[in-house]
Amino acid sequence: METIMIAGGTGLIGQALEKKLLSNGHAVRILTRNPTKPNHYYWDPSIKNIDEIALQEVTVLINLSGAGIAEKRWSKKRKEELASSRIGTNEFLASKHSKFPKLKQFISSSGINCYSLKDSSKIYSESDDFGTDYLSQLVKDWETSADLFEKKCDVAKIRTAVVLSPNGGALSKMIPAIKMGIGSPLGSGNQPIAWIHIDDLVELFIFIIEHQLAGTYNALTACTSNKNFMKSLAKHFKKPFWFPNVPSFVLKLIFGEMSTVLLDGVQVSNQKITDLGFKFHKNNLEEALN
Ligand SMILES: NC(=O)c1ccc[n+]([C@@H]2O[C@H](COP(=O)([O-])OP(=O)(O)OC[C@H]3O[C@@H](n4cnc5c(N)ncnc54)[C@H](OP(=O)(O)O)[C@@H]3O)[C@@H](O)[C@H]2O)c1
């Protein structure tokens, strides 16, 4: 059994992962800026403060920290926060590597929105280049900062798709419009959305820990079009789905550069992890939404 520390473990993914790791018998410590529970430990990466005693027994370190990508418009200040809460936290943890004498593996969260958007017919895999847009470059720098641990231990980077969870995340932002019966495709509606159910994502993290894997892994169950995704949600809530597409220019006006999260997307493959024996259990979008 491992002693697993999750930085940024109080959020959507961290809470689900903690629960499953504990039920599998691992010891779990959470690094948070606001400790409220006995297994919570204080850090504040922005002022380079951390409870070093908590690090000593840790064998696996996971960093899930990150200010919400789609929470606020991407002003210069917000971009600095998006970067410092990901790249800055990885760099800070790496600067403390000597305080983790037993560390075997470092796992960094990463994002699936990192591939070149040039070819809509291509299915992208982990060996493909990063795109040149803001998010792709953020992910590139995020993963480079994770690699600072390479001299110390195995490093895995999990390029996570849109997580489907009843407890928040992207779905909680989409559901209100759908429930009001005004759900509609965004932009052309043809752009792919890569998705994964929270239970499968948690199992994927555990698979990577138990097999002590290193490298980059796309964490998605499947891709579907934005139109099909919104239609499936409307069907789930037994709501109509006949409104016209929300034009791209409207979304650009409302969200600025952040509208790329809604309007862009490519097809991505999960073959690397399935070839290693990982099995997704919520394979069908309608089942996953249920
Ligand atoms: N959910 C998704 O659909 C999705 C998809 C792709 C990638 N990801 C990535 O996966 C990671 C975890 O996602 P999540 O959905 O669990 O996120 P979340 O619910 O927003 O939680 C992220 C955690 O990061 C910490 N955090 C936030 N701002 C911070 C800052 N400025 N400095 C340091 N820590 C900060 C918070 O911990 P404390 O407040 O306790 O310190 C928070 O609990 C994130 O990096 C996210 O970008 C998520």
Instruction: Identify the CATH number of the domain in which residue 215 sits.
Output: 3.40.50.720
Q: What is the pLDDT of residues 107-157, one digit of tens each?
A: 999 999 999 777 778 999 999 999 999 999 999 999 999 999 999 999 999
Q: Three-state SS across 135-170?
A: HHHHHHHHHHHHHHHCCCCEEEEEEECEEECCCCCH
Average pLDDT, the chain: 95
Residue of 158 and 259 predicted with greater confidence: 158
pLDDT, mean of residues 27-38: 97
Residue 21 banded pLDDT, cuts 50, 70, 90: very high
Going from the Cα of 61 to the center of ligand 1, the distance in angstroms, rounded, reads 15
Question: By residue range, what is the domain housing residue 28?
Answer: 3-289
- 242 vs 217 pLDDT, higher one: 217
Residues at CB less than 6 angstroms from ligand 1: 8, 10-14, 32-34, 45, 64-69, 81, 85-86, 89, 109, 111, 160, 162-163, 169-170
Predicted confidence at residue 253, as pLDDT, reads 85
Report how many domains make up the chain.
1
pLDDT for 90 equals 98
Distance 201 CA to ligand 1 centre (A): 15
CA distance 148 to 95: 9
Q: Which residues, 6 or more positions from 225, have their beta carbon under 8 angstroms from its beta carbon?
A: 185, 189, 190, 191, 192, 193
Report the pLDDT value the prediction gives residue 244, as an integer from 0 to 100. Answer: 86
pLDDT in tens, 169-214: 999 989 998 998 888 999 999 999 999 999 999 999 999 999 999 9
Helices and strands, counts by H and E, the chain:
11, 13
Burial class (CB in 10 A: 0-12, 13-18, 19+), 272: middle
Residues of the chain with pLDDT > 70: what percent? 100
Is the pLDDT at 43 greater than 90, yes or no?
Answer: yes
Expressed in angstroms and rounded, the spacing between residue 121 Cα and the centre of ligand 1 is 31
pLDDT in tens, 54-76: 999 999 999 999 999 989 999 99
The Cα 179–Cα 142 span in angstroms is 36
Cα of 240 vs centre of ligand 1, distance in Å, is: 33
Element (H, E) at 234: helix 226-236
Interatomic CA distance for residues 110 and 146, integer angstroms: 10
Tell me what pLDDT residue 250 has: 87
What mean pLDDT do residues 214-225 have? 97
Q: For a pLDDT cut of 90, what percent of the chain falls above it?
A: 85
- Name the helix (H) or strand (E) containing 192: strand 192-197
